[in-house]
């Protein structure tokens, strides 16, 4: 068994689409980043890479590489799952938290789970929780969003 943890945050700006867990959420602002800045997918990717002992997301998908500009983070997640399988591991479970003051994300959680499952993580092995930051700090002020994820991997036979 291997355990991994992931964290990500991105700045919230005008004029960008908000993409979380691979789906577009109507909001009027979006997250700024080299890729689609999907904090949830990035945290899950980092948790898996961490469990594999292979560094971090920046090592595998550097933001200096034009190849990853505006790329769908679900695509990066499916590449990470492929890498995990090549290394001989399967997902046991992924638990995650999106921390965002607005909008309310609960209505979108099932669609996010379905979208993430298409990247190769079984639907029953992915849990997503959505929380606000009670008005405190950069998240509470609406300056950005963050996500955390943990995953457990087991060696495939």
Residues of this chain that bind Mg ion (CB under 5 A) = 8, 42
Shortest approach of Mg ion to residue 4 CB, angstroms?
16
Cβ proximity to Mg ion, 8 vs 101, nearer residue: 8
Query: Looking at beta carbons only, is 66 or 134 nearer to Mg ion?
Result: 66
- Which string of b and e fits 74-93 if b means at least 16 CB within 10 Å? bbbbbbbbebbeeeebbbee
Of 58 and 107, CB closest to Mg ion:
58
Tell me the closest approach of the beta carbon of residue 33 to Mg ion, in angstroms: 6
Give, in degrees to the nearest 5, the angle at Cα 130 between 129 and 134: 135
Residue bearing tokens 């849990």: 127
Shortest separation between residue 156's beta carbon and Mg ion, angstroms: 28
């Amino acid at each position: 068994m291997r355990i991994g943890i992931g964290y990500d945050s991105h700045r919230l700006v005008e004029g960008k689409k908000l993409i979380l867990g691979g789906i577009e959420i109507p909001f009027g602002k979006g997250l700024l980043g080299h890729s689609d800045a999907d904090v949830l997918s990035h945290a899950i990717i980092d948790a898996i890479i961490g469990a594999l002992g292979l560094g971090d997301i920046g090592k595998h998908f550097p933001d200096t590489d034009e190849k990853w500009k505006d790329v769908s983070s679900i695509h990066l997640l499916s590449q990470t799952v492929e890498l995990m399988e090549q290394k001989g591991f399967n997902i046991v479970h992924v638990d995650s938290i999106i921390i965002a003051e607005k909008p309310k994300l609960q209505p979108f959680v099932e669609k996010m789970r379905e979208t993430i499952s298409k990247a190769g993580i079984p639907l029953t092995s992915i849990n997503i929780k959505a929380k606000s930051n009670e008005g405190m700090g950069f998240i509470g002020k609406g300056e950005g969003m963050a996500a955390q994820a943990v995953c457990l991997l087991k060696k495939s036979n």
